[in-house]
Amino acid sequence: MSFKVFMSYESQKMDQNSEDHNLGTTRENQHFSMIHYENRLQTFSNWPFNDLKRQVKCTAEAMAKSGFYCPNPDEEPDTVCCFLCMKTLDGWEKSDIPDEEHARKQKDACLFLNMKERTDKLMSIGEILQLKKIQHLVWNMNKTADAVNYFLTLTKKFSELERRTVELLS
């Protein structure tokens, strides 16, 4: 079995496992498929700098190589998200360097930025599988944080409602 066929099979198998564990929403499927450079690159069809390649540092290719993809190219063509650390950035300027912006204001730099090879065609099988594991871990951590924030907001609203009720009854 060739490397490319094996990686395609492994990627499909891991994606199927994600769907089997109720992770099969459209956004999740899109996000998990972005481990592949070509998939990331295709999301930059409406990238504002596509026609200015000679004058721009944040080309679609540089963005994809830095791990970014455009989750909503039709409505927010300059908003990008890292497929691994999920850092989301917008407001790009043509002089912005994707790797520098990716690493900026981040407590720990994204592991993807430290990799020697950043296209899945040049990575080892072990590197791709490790990235898949990290990607799922970060996704689940973010989902948990979102749920916690939602419940904290609800708790504050209920506390405020209780306070107002007590005031009205007093």
Tell me the CATH number of domain 3-169, given options 3.10.20.30, 1.10.1170.10, 1.20.120.160, 3.40.50.300: 1.10.1170.10
Query: Taking Cα atoms as reference points, which of 35, 55, 9, 1 lies closest to residue 127?
Result: 35
Residue ranges of domains in the chain: 3-169
CA distances to 37, 71, 118, 135, 142 from 53, in Å: 19, 21, 21, 30, 34
Q: Are the CB atoms for 37 and 63 separated by under 8 Å?
A: no
Query: What residues are paired with 81 via a beta bridge?
Result: 69, 88
| Greater model confidence, 33 or 90 | 90
| Greater model confidence, 138 or 95 | 95
- Give Rg (Cα) of the chain: 20
Q: 12-21, 31-40, 102-111, 132-141: which has the minimum mean pLDDT?
A: 12-21
Percent of the chain with pLDDT over 70: 77
Query: What residues are paired with 68 via a beta bridge?
Result: 82
Query: Which phi and psi angles does 162 have, rounded to 5°?
Result: -65, -45
Residue that has been written with the tokens 């430290």 in this structure: 114
Query: Which runs of consecutive H residues, i.e. helices, occur in the chain?
Result: 3-20, 26-33, 37-42, 60-65, 98-103, 125-169
| Greater model confidence, 135 or 144 | 135
What is the pLDDT at residue 5?
Answer: 40
Q: Show Cβ contacts of residue 127 under 8 Å, excluding neighbours closer than 6 positions.
A: 115, 117
Query: Which phi and psi angles does 89 have, rounded to 5°?
Result: -135, 150
| Greater model confidence, 127 or 98 | 98
> What tens digit of pLDDT does each residue of 8-65 get?
444 454 444 444 444 446 777 777 788 889 999 999 989 988 887 678 889 999 999 9
What is the pLDDT at residue 13?
Answer: 46
Q: Are the CB atoms for 49 and 58 separated by under 8 Å?
A: yes
